[in-house]
Amino acid sequence: MYRETNIRSIVKGVTWRIVATSTTIGIVYIFFGRLDLAIATGLIETILKIALYWGHERVWFKIRWGRKKIEPFNIWLTGLPLSGKTTIGDRVFEELQKLDIPIERIDSKDIREIIPDIGYSREERNRHLKRVGHLIQTLQKNSISTVASFVSPYRESRETIRNMVQNTIIVYVKADIESCKKRDYKGIYQKALNGEIENFTGVSDIYEEPTCANIVIDTDLVSVEEATKKIVEFVKKRYVK
Amino acid sequence: MYRETNIRSIVKGVTWRIVATSTTIGIVYIFFGRLDLAIATGLIETILKIALYWGHERVWFKIRWGRKKIEPFNIWLTGLPLSGKTTIGDRVFEELQKLDIPIERIDSKDIREIIPDIGYSREERNRHLKRVGHLIQTLQKNSISTVASFVSPYRESRETIRNMVQNTIIVYVKADIESCKKRDYKGIYQKALNGEIENFTGVSDIYEEPTCANIVIDTDLVSVEEATKKIVEFVKKRYVK
């Protein structure tokens, strides 16, 4: 982050006044050929314009028109492993960055890489998502919106997020379990089916389908680009007018 | 967060130009009594000043003087329970907010209130602090500095924070264990001594004293105000010039 010192702003203001007043003096002198009156014009202009600029700012300060409050929002992508949450989340994040609002991407995988021993039991998952909720809360306190993607298979932990975090948009990234298995480029479904991974959502653990998602993306029918457009439109309509 | 729409900025620019040019025309007319030449002066002034303002901005853009880079920092207060970390942290946070930099307060107690089942074993504490490190990392990505207060009794977890987070200032809030017991307004030392709390730092768990803290505050000798001043001076000198 860069910060302008007070003295820089003052010096910049002074140099601009010198340029502006000299210009006025120059124009008036060329038109009328009287240097003394031209300088007088310039000096009066300087004093008047400093006062007028102040007045102009104060008037605009009272005008609400054209000022929009942006409330931080949280896009929460939930769905089976390999349903496409991360891919869609990344694209949505890319598009939302273009709106020039402070926004942060949070993906399950990144956190689990840093803290590998979070665990996958119901209790551990719920605690994990409560902490993610706290992280998003802290970001929102600083006006930062989020695009979060987590399997988050239990209704109760999605409810926790909704209660902790304002303006949460639940996006259910729906995919047929058979489609997910086909996409299994990491080989994780195979491992789960072989019994090598415990508590694997969709195989050895339940995924409780969201009943009141704000957006449902059926990845068997909709492309990543179409999904991205739908989510971005939703956000633009409600939070970034 | 508020945001000015593009159209607001344009309209504001136009209204200022109207005020500024009318002023020039008015002054010139009063001085010279020729309305046609006054208007011509005003129009030429408008065109010239738009170009000059642009040039002025571009020149200043290249001048580094008066621009300071503020790197986010992390003040990390460590010490025995009731050593005074939270009190000092709160005061330091209050003072640093006056510097008008984005800053966030993180206290162990607040997080443990939201997520009560974090645990106190060595493994659980280390995992907990890794997550706190991730939180601070995410804030730093958004230029937000932090004042964090955690018992953080183990050298390894403080090392983790130092490695994860840039510009960490370790502040060891030193207090004699007997002083802490005397300050025991919450009755937690008594409970620990009675064996009602497990893994209680200073009683049933070890506190590994920091050997390379950036600042050591001996709370048996130094007041909260003196401690605050010392920490704030340290930050000002290195990170907020």
Chain B contacts in chain A segment 216-235 (CB below 8 A): none
Assigned token pair, A211: 């009943």
Of the candidates B27, B134, B138, which has its C-beta nearest A115's C-beta? B134
Q: Residues A23, A125: one domain?
A: no
- Structural domain includes residue A67: no
Q: Which of B139, B141, B157 to mutate to test the interface with A (most CBs of A within 10 A)?
A: B139
- Structural domain includes residue B146: yes
Interchain CB distance below 8 Å, B31 and A12: no
pLDDT tens sequence across B89-129: 999 999 999 988 899 999 999 999 999 889 999 999 999 99
- Helix (H), strand (E) at residue A137: helix A122-141
- Structural domain includes residue B95: yes
Q: Is some CB atom of chain B closer than 8 A to the CB atom of A129? A: no
Interchain CB distance below 8 Å, A16 and B56: yes
CATH number at residue B201: 3.40.50.300
Is B2 a residue whose pLDDT tops 90?
Answer: no
Interchain CB distance below 8 Å, B67 and A106: no
- Structural domain includes residue A220: yes
Q: Residues B82, B133: one domain?
A: yes
Distance CA A89, CA A74 (A): 12
Calculate what percentage of chain B has a pLDDT beyond 90. Answer: 74
Interchain CB distance below 8 Å, A130 and B139: no
Q: Residues A54, A124: one domain?
A: no
Interchain CB distance below 8 Å, A3 and B67: yes
Q: pLDDT tens, position by position, for chain A (241 residues)? A: 777 888 888 999 899 999 999 999 999 999 899 999 999 999 999 999 999 999 999 999 888 888 877 889 999 999 999 999 999 999 999 999 998 889 999 999 999 999 988 999 999 999 999 999 999 999 999 999 999 999 999 999 999 999 999 999 999 999 998 888 888 888 889 999 998 888 999 898 999 999 989 999 999 999 999 999 999 999 999 988 6
A170 neighbors A160 (Cβ within 8 angstroms): no
Q: What is the pLDDT of residue A4?
A: 81
Q: Residues B169, B206: one domain?
A: yes
Residues of chain A with C-beta less than 8 angstroms from the C-beta of B48 = 23, 27
Interchain CB distance below 8 Å, B52 and A20: yes
Q: Residues A43, A132: one domain?
A: no
Which residue in chain A has the smallest CA separation from B2? A69
- Chains A and B form CB pairs within 8 A to the count of 151
Q: Residues B142, B86: one domain?
A: yes
Determine the distance in angstroms separating the CA of B27 from the nearest CA of chain A, rounded to an integer.
6
- Structural domain includes residue A68: no
Q: What is the pLDDT of residue B78?
A: 98
Q: Residues B41, B96: one domain?
A: no
Q: Which domain holds residue B39?
A: 7-62
Q: Residues A39, A83: one domain?
A: no
- Structural domain includes residue A29: yes
Interchain CB distance below 8 Å, A41 and B48: no
Q: Residues B84, B201: one domain?
A: yes
Q: Can you list the alpha helix ranges (DSSP code H) found in A33-118? A: 35-62, 85-97, 108-114
pLDDT tens sequence across B182-226: 888 888 899 999 988 889 998 989 999 999 899 999 999 999 999
Which residue in chain B has the smallest CA separation from A3? B68
Residues of chain B with C-beta less than 8 angstroms from the C-beta of A111 = 134
Interchain CB distance below 8 Å, A41 and B27: yes
- pLDDT-based confidence at residue B240 (cuts at 50, 70, 90): confident
Q: Is A152 left (phi over 0), alpha (psi -120 to 50) or beta?
A: left
Domain count, chain A: 2
Active-site entry in B83, B108, B145, B152: B152
Is B67 a residue whose pLDDT tops 90?
Answer: no
3-state secondary structure of B23: helix
Of the candidates B70, B131, B142, which has its C-beta nearest A144's C-beta? B142
- Helix (H), strand (E) at residue B75: strand B74-78
Q: What is the pLDDT of residue A28?
A: 92
Distance CA B68, CA A74 (A): 32
Average pLDDT over residues B165-194: 91
Q: Is some CB atom of chain B closer than 8 A to the CB atom of A117? A: yes
Q: Residues B19, B85: one domain?
A: no
Q: Residues B57, B119: one domain?
A: no
Record the pTM: 0.85
Determine the distance in angstroms separating the CA of B4 from the nearest CA of chain A, rounded to an integer.
5
Q: Residues B12, B103: one domain?
A: no
- Structural domain includes residue A193: yes
3-state secondary structure of A200: coil
Higher pLDDT, B170 or B180: B170
Catalytic (active site) residue A143: no
A66 neighbors B11 (Cβ within 8 angstroms): yes
- Structural domain includes residue B172: yes
Q: Which of A19, A34, A62 is the last residue of a domain?
A: A62
Q: Is some CB atom of chain A closer than 8 A to the CB atom of B61? A: no
* Mean of per-residue pLDDT scores for chain B: 92
